């Protein structure tokens, strides 16, 4: 026979506080009375939850509201200065401190991780210490640490099953960091973390979107599928490797072992490879001038400079890339019918030419009903990848803070 576990008093208090925090986040400033009306909780229960949240530094009173016949109600809001979150991004090799509203307070200088070079675990600890010491934040204000990285992470244990970029396999990162620092720690892939950043702090939050796809284009191509506000991970946690869908079965060999993967045509390394190939074929381009005649000097930042200066080759490559990505996104729109597709990653720095090409291609190739309803937007007003990783890491803590505790159903 199935049953619902009767929660202990402490368990119910955690649920009540989570409800109150959620209402505050969505509707603040708001009074205790109005929280009671919204949640259905009794005024006494709300008062107890608010008292504990104020004592924890997460909520504060900010003034009085309008009277409805009695005393003017005291208005409540989240206390942005009440606690901070540590966000760590191991692709950009960076750590930072943010408040509960997603305001970035401090970050360490980034240095992009190199694929295949093993990152020592103590370096992760060093990054966290640098962020804490550099920000000057008091340790009693730290609510948790969120770490995002390129690779596969087993949940909820926070074990890095595999990361080619970091050179890791079966690393129990969550438990190692918790043991060293004593703060609750959460570990996930950078794609998931950044997508959750969009849900809690970015474009999805602005329009209360619960069903969206985060489409990452940078060193690789991947998607994060969010349904009902929750990440769809797949049976073994590997869902979202959209960059390894085949668009040419006779195409070039991919690192994954397949041929003609979308990633081989649309990632930043693929774009730079195209530039190199065309230059070697003798085509003139301003990119070569900017590189002082040496094709090896052409970086993605230099490519963007050429694009901004109107270089025909740069524009042609971005339009071709947008065309292919638009086709790929059209397939996802037809398959999943999302409310929104958020396009992020360093490639989005190519700006409106890329986004407009993607939108045009996607709308033309999607079925009418999903095409008319979906919004395709750039991520968080074109945040840098570094900031997106820090905020994404911090969001891993933030979402746990607002999480409604599970009620177990079983025998």
Q: Are residues 276 and 259 in the same domain?
A: yes
Helix (H, G, I), strand (E, B) or coil at 95: strand
- Average pLDDT along the chain: 87
Residue 406 has pLDDT above 60, yes or no: no
Cβ-based burial of 10 (10 A; exposed 0-12, middle 13-18, buried ≥19): exposed
Q: Which stretch, 55-59, 199-203, 346-350, has highest mean pLDDT?
A: 346-350
Please report which confidence band the pLDDT of residue 229 belongs to, taking 50, 70 and 90 as the band edges.
Answer: confident
Q: Are residues 368 and 252 in the same domain?
A: yes
Boundary residue ending a domain (79, 97, 113): 79
Q: Is residue 379 part of a domain?
A: no
Q: Is residue 378 part of a domain?
A: no
Q: Mean pLDDT throughout 308-325? A: 96
- Domain around 119: 84-198+388-401
Q: Are residues 362 and 244 in the same domain?
A: yes
Q: Are residues 150 and 285 in the same domain?
A: no
- Total number of domains constituting the chain: 3
Residue 22 has pLDDT above 60, yes or no: yes
CATH code: domain of residue 396: 3.30.420.40
pLDDT of the residue at 256: 81
Q: Is residue 203 part of a domain?
A: no
Boundary residue ending a domain (33, 61, 79): 79
Please report which confidence band the pLDDT of residue 2 belongs to, taking 50, 70 and 90 as the band edges.
Answer: very low
Q: Is residue 350 part of a domain?
A: yes
Q: Is residue 207 part of a domain?
A: no
Q: Are residues 192 and 117 in the same domain?
A: yes
pLDDT of the residue at 98: 93
Write the pLDDT tens digit of every residue in 149-183. Answer: 988 899 889 999 988 888 899 999 999 999 999 99
Q: Are residues 365 and 291 in the same domain?
A: yes
Q: Are residues 168 and 238 in the same domain?
A: no
Q: Is residue 315 part of a domain?
A: yes
If DSSP states are collapsed to H, E and C, what string results for 45-108? HHHHHHHHHHHCCCEEEEEECCCCCCCCCEEEEECCCCCEEEEEECCCCEEEEEECCCCEEEEC
Q: Is residue 32 part of a domain?
A: yes
Residue 70 has pLDDT above 70, yes or no: no
Q: Which two tokens stand for residue 241?
A: 């490797």
How far is residue 170's CA from residue 155's CA, in Å, rounded to a whole number? 12
Q: Is residue 99 part of a domain?
A: yes
Q: Are residues 174 and 96 in the same domain?
A: yes
């Amino acid at each position: 026979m199935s049953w619902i576990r009767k929660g202990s008093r402490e368990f119910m208090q955690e649920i009540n506080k989570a409800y109150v925090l959620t209402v505050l986040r969505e509707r603040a400033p708001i009074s205790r009375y109005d929280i009671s009306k919204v949640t259905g909780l009794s005024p006494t229960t709300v008062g107890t939850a608010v008292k504990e949240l104020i004592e924890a530094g997460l909520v504060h009173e900010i003034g009085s509201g309008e009277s409805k016949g009695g005393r003017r109600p005291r208005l409540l809001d989240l206390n942005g200065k009440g606690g901070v979150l540590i966000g760590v991004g191991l692709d950009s090799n960076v750590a930072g401190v943010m408040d509960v509203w997603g305001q970035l307070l401090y970050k360490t200088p980034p240095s992009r991780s190199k694929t295949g070079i093993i990152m020592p675990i103590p370096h992760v600890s060093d990054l966290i210490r640098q962020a804490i010491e550099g920000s000057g934040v008091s340790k009693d204000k730290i609510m948790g640490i969120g770490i995002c990285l390129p690779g596969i992470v087993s949940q909820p244990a926070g074990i890095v099953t595999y990361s080619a970029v970091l050179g890791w396999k079966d690393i129990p990162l969550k438990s190692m960091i918790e043991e060293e620092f004593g703060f609750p720690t959460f570990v996930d892939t950078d794609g998931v973390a950044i997508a959750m950043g969009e849900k809690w702090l970015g474009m999805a939050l602005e329009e209360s979107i619960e069903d969206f796809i985060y489409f990452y284009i940078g060193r690789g191509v991947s998607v994060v599928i969010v349904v009902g506000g929750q990440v769809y991970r797949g049976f073994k946690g590997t869902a979202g490797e959209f960059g390894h869908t085949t668009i040419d079965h006779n195409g070039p060999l991919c690192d994954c072992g397949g041929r003609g993967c979308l990633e081989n045509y649309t990632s930043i390394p693929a774009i730079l490879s195209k530039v190199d190939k065309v230059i070697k074929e003798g085509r003139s381009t301003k990119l070569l001038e900017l590189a002082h005649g040496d094709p090896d000097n052409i970086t993605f930042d230099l490519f963007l400079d050429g694009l901004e200066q109107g270089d025909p080759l740069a524009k042609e490559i971005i339009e071709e890339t947008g065309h292919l990505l638009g086709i790929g996104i059209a397939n996802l729109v037809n398959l999943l019918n999302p409310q929104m597709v958020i396009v992020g990653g360093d490639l989005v720095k190519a700006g409106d030419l890329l986004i407009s090409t993607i939108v045009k291609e996607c709308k033309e190739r999607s079925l009418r009903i999903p095409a008319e309803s979906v919004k395709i937007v750039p991520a968080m007003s074109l945040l840098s990848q570094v900031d997106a990783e820090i905020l994404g890491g911090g969001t891993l803590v933030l979402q746990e803070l607002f999480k409604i505790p599970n009620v177990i159903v079983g025998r």
